Structure 1
Amino acid sequence: MTDFIARLTAFFAAQPPVLIAVIAAVAILIAGAPILRRGSDRAADEAQEQLSELIRLQSEMQGRLSAMTEAFSTRQGELNQAVNQRLDGMSHRIGATIAEQTKSTHDNLRQLQERLAVIDAAQNNIQTLAKDVVGLQAILSNKQTRGAFGQGRMETIIADGLPIGAYAFQSTLSNGSRPDCTVRMPNGAPPLVIDAKFPLEAWNAFREATAPEARRSAGQQFRRDLEVHIRDIAEKYLIAGETQDTAFMFVPSESIFAEIHEHFEASVQKAQRARIVIVSPSLLMLSIQVIQAVLKDQRMREQAHLIQGEVALLMEDLGRLDERTRKLQAHFLAAQKDVEQIVTSNEKLARRGGRIAALELEAPASAEAEPMPNSSPRVNPQPVESRTGLLKLRVVDED
């Protein structure tokens, strides 16, 4: 009995723990079977039946466990396949997204680099402009360089608008003064004087003043400096018989010119009474263009006799051209008459040739074998009509 229990235990060693416990209980019942037999054989039979039922249930349980294991394996395979497919799809989408993001990042970086390059170029230009502005400020802060700046603009306008010899810079007058520019006027009139100086310090103080009192004080100072400068121009450059009775005071800025006429109308009126005209760059350019037109008209009047002589020579050349044209026309008319006569002769020859081509000549039969020497027309060898032993041949013109 002990061996049977050992074999039974070894057989179910690989079974689940619950089943092993059941088998152990059954073994104990079998081990105590002699005692139970002595007590009751019927109980032993019932135990045997229960053991058989337990074995049958264990077999069914093993079958169910195998089916469940196989089902679980199948489901696990399908789950693994679905998970792998989803992982592959997600990996593909993630890879595509990463590639797009990488390309977009590269494009953005390239555009950013281009914009940074443009910004660097603009910054360099701004730095250069700032240096130029600083230099211009330094120029305008110095009286001598400020005068050179205003005179430079004025000289550029004059040199661009007038021919060489029609103006002079820093020429000396009879009273020893040296105006910035003198413009030669037509018809031997005295030259026009242009002054390029301007009280810029007082103007800057007036423009930068913000408080009412400071602005009023700066305005009065600028008015005094402007009127003093106007009086100096009138006293130095308006010389009777040597210069024009009107002079130009050049203002190197359109905005300054506009504000002077807006805020200092009394000074402008005083300058006009003193025959001093305040001009901006555009007004100076317009005046120079008018002077240039007047000078051009004067030169044309001075050269009028030369123009008349050239026109007379031109008329002589036109007369000779007309005479030669008429001679050529006569030659053409004669040639046309000759051509018309040639055409008439050609038409007569054509009609005569047509009549010759339409003729029918009679010749003996032997003439068919002997062609006529030195004859331009060709005889058609085909017989047309045969009467009284004579053969009529048709003469055909080869032309």
Structure 2
Amino acid sequence: MARDTLSFDHVLFAIGGLPITLGLLLSGTCGLLLLLFLATVLRRGRVQEAAEARIDVLLSAQADMQSRIATLTEVFGTRQAELNRAIGERLDGMGQRIGSSILQQTQATHENLRRLQERLTAIDSAQANIQTLARDMAGLQQILSNKQTRGAFGQQRMETIVADGLPQGAYAFQPTLSNGARPDCTIRMPNGQPALVVDAKFPLEGWNAMRASEDETARRYATQQFRRDMEVHIRDIATKYLLPGETQDTAFLFVPSESIFADIHEHFEAIVQKAHRARIVIVSPSLLLLSIQVIQAILRDASMREQAHLIRDEVVHLMADLGRLDERVRKLQGHFLASQRDVEDILISSDKLRKRGGRIESLELDTPAAAAEPPVPAADPARPRQGGLKLRVVDEE
């Protein structure tokens, strides 16, 4: 129990031969704590002073910072107002430009739409024309596919050209010749010459088959077939329609297309030469029209020659009438000359009467002169006045 109780004089340890008791240790510890406390208090005072100084500096810096911030805020506000005003002006200008550009684009768009509408209208019209043409071509193809209808088509074109170019009675369609043949048309020639024969039965089916051939073999066969058809047709015209004394020694083979006529003369020269040797002239619509115009001029000249004697007789009668007119005009001129002389005598008498009246008015009567004036004889009613106007009835011849 004594071991567990410690006194302040109890030596705990020794340092350099100096015994360290518990009281000494406690007092030293207390003094050390006191020193530490004082040092801490002094340090806190200096820290507080430094903190207060720093706070003052911070407050001054804060005030300076607030002043600068206020200045910057004012500057930024001014700059922002200017920037807003500039942005507003730019936005207004841009809005005006965009509005003007949009208006121009709208007008251009409306104009383009209008032009597009016009073009679409033209395209619709052209499409309608193309559809009509397609239907016409289909009808023409149906016409040309039928041999009898195709012959009627060529006959109709030929008849239209002849009827438009020649007067009525100068042609005949499908007449009957002495051998029983019936050509498509005959044209009367002047001066009693034989009629000219026009044939319109062109072998168009062989031509279409040649054009529709896809390979070389079929085209060659169709070409040979078309050449044979043309040769047979030329021979038939020469044997049936060229009759001495009844028809001309030359006949027309009418081709109802200018393109077919050009292709025949370009690729079938042998057929053309054979037709010339047989006195068969292959004609297109334009050549037939030209020939009709020449024939019309010849008929007109022949008609003028037939009427020449009538014109001559009329001229003779006209000259006789002119002779009688000249004689009657000369007689009328004689009457006018006699009347002019009578008028001159009347003027002389009136002048004398005027002078005598003047002398009477001035009382200057000249009795000898008056006595010398021969008396005017009285007019004999039974005697005609000389130099007067004589009327004579001229008998019409």
Common fold, TM-score beyond 0.5? yes
Q: Does 1:137 align with 2:144?
A: no
Match of 1:79 in 2: 83
Match of 2:126 in 1: 122
- Once the 2 structures are TM-superposed, how far is the Cα of residue 50 of structure 1 from its aligned partner? 6.1
Which is further off, 239-248 or 162-171? 239-248
- Which letter does structure 1 place at the counterpart of 2:199? D
Indicate conservation of the 8 Å contact 1:37/1:44, yes or no.
Answer: no
- Once the 2 structures are TM-superposed, how far is the Cα of residue 277 of structure 1 from its aligned partner? 2.4
Distance 2:278 2:142 in 1: 33
Match of 1:102 in 2: 106
Distance 1:36 1:320 in 2: 177
Q: Does 1:203 align with 2:207?
A: yes
Deviation per residue, 1:97-151 (Å, 9 max, x gap): 2111111111111111111111111111111111111111111111111111111
Query: Pick from 180, 185, 200: which aligns with 1:181?
Result: 185
Provide the secondary structure at the position in 2 that maps to 1:245: strand
- Once the 2 structures are TM-superposed, how far is the Cα of residue 242 of structure 1 from its aligned partner? 2.5
Query: Pick from 296, 304, 311: which aligns with 2:308?
Result: 304
- Once the 2 structures are TM-superposed, how far is the Cα of residue 319 of structure 1 from its aligned partner? 4.5
Deviation per residue, 1:298-343 (Å, 9 max, x gap): 2112111210122223334555666678789999999999xxxxxx
**For residues 63-74 of structure 1, what are the structure 2 equivalents within 5 Å?**
63-74=67-78
Distance 2:43 2:285 in 1: 144
- Once the 2 structures are TM-superposed, how far is the Cα of residue 85 of structure 1 from its aligned partner? 1.7
- Which letter does structure 2 place at the counterpart of 1:233? I
Match of 2:220 in 1: 216
Which is further off, 193-202 or 304-313? 304-313
TM-score (norm 2): 0.66
Query: Pick from 263, 267, 274: which aligns with 2:267?
Result: 263
- Which letter does structure 1 place at the counterpart of 2:272? V
- Which letter does structure 2 place at the counterpart of 1:170? Q
Task: Identify if the C-alpha distance between structure 1 residues 327 and 44 changes in structure 2 by more than 3 Å, giving closer, same or farther.
Answer: farther
Provide the secondary structure at the position in 1 that maps to 2:186: strand
Task: Identify if the C-alpha distance between structure 1 residues 324 and 255 changes in structure 2 by more than 3 Å, giving closer, same or farther.
Answer: farther
Task: Identify if the C-alpha distance between structure 1 residues 74 and 170 changes in structure 2 by more than 3 Å, giving closer, same or farther.
Answer: same
Indicate conservation of the 8 Å contact 1:36/1:43, yes or no.
Answer: no
Task: Identify if the C-alpha distance between structure 1 residues 88 and 274 changes in structure 2 by more than 3 Å, giving closer, same or farther.
Answer: closer
Structure having the higher Rg: 2
Deviation per residue, 1:47-99 (Å, 9 max, x gap): 77666555544444433332232222222222222222222222222222211
Match of 2:26 in 1: none
RMSD of equivalent CA atoms? 3.7
Deviation per residue, 1:156-180 (Å, 9 max, x gap): 1111111000111111222322211
Q: How many residues align?
A: 306
Provide the secondary structure at the position in 1 that maps to 2:249: coil
Which is further off, 316-325 or 207-216? 316-325
Deviation per residue, 1:168-225 (Å, 9 max, x gap): 1111222322211111111222222211101111122233345444333222211221
Which is further off, 44-53 or 130-139? 44-53
- Once the 2 structures are TM-superposed, how far is the Cα of residue 259 of structure 1 from its aligned partner? 2.8
Indicate conservation of the 8 Å contact 1:254/1:281, yes or no.
Answer: yes
Provide the secondary structure at the position in 1 that maps to 2:252: strand
**For residues 1-399 of structure 1, what are the structure 2 equivalents within 5 Å?**
55-209=59-213, 211-319=215-323
Distance 1:152 1:70 in 2: 103
Distance 1:43 1:216 in 2: 127
Distance 1:132 1:119 in 2: 19
Distance 2:45 2:276 in 1: 156
Task: Identify if the C-alpha distance between structure 1 residues 291 and 50 changes in structure 2 by more than 3 Å, giving closer, same or farther.
Answer: closer
Distance 1:214 1:282 in 2: 32
Unaligned runs of 5+ in 1: 1-34, 338-399
Indicate conservation of the 8 Å contact 1:36/1:44, yes or no.
Answer: no
Distance 2:233 2:66 in 1: 125
Task: Identify if the C-alpha distance between structure 1 residues 213 and 303 changes in structure 2 by more than 3 Å, giving closer, same or farther.
Answer: same
Which is further off, 87-96 or 163-172? 87-96
Task: Identify if the C-alpha distance between structure 1 residues 335 and 203 changes in structure 2 by more than 3 Å, giving closer, same or farther.
Answer: farther
- Once the 2 structures are TM-superposed, how far is the Cα of residue 241 of structure 1 from its aligned partner? 2.9
Which is further off, 228-237 or 37-46? 37-46
Which is further off, 269-278 or 179-188? 269-278
Unaligned runs of 5+ in 2: 1-38, 342-397
Task: Identify if the C-alpha distance between structure 1 residues 334 and 149 changes in structure 2 by more than 3 Å, giving closer, same or farther.
Answer: farther
**Percent identity between the two aligned chains:** 69
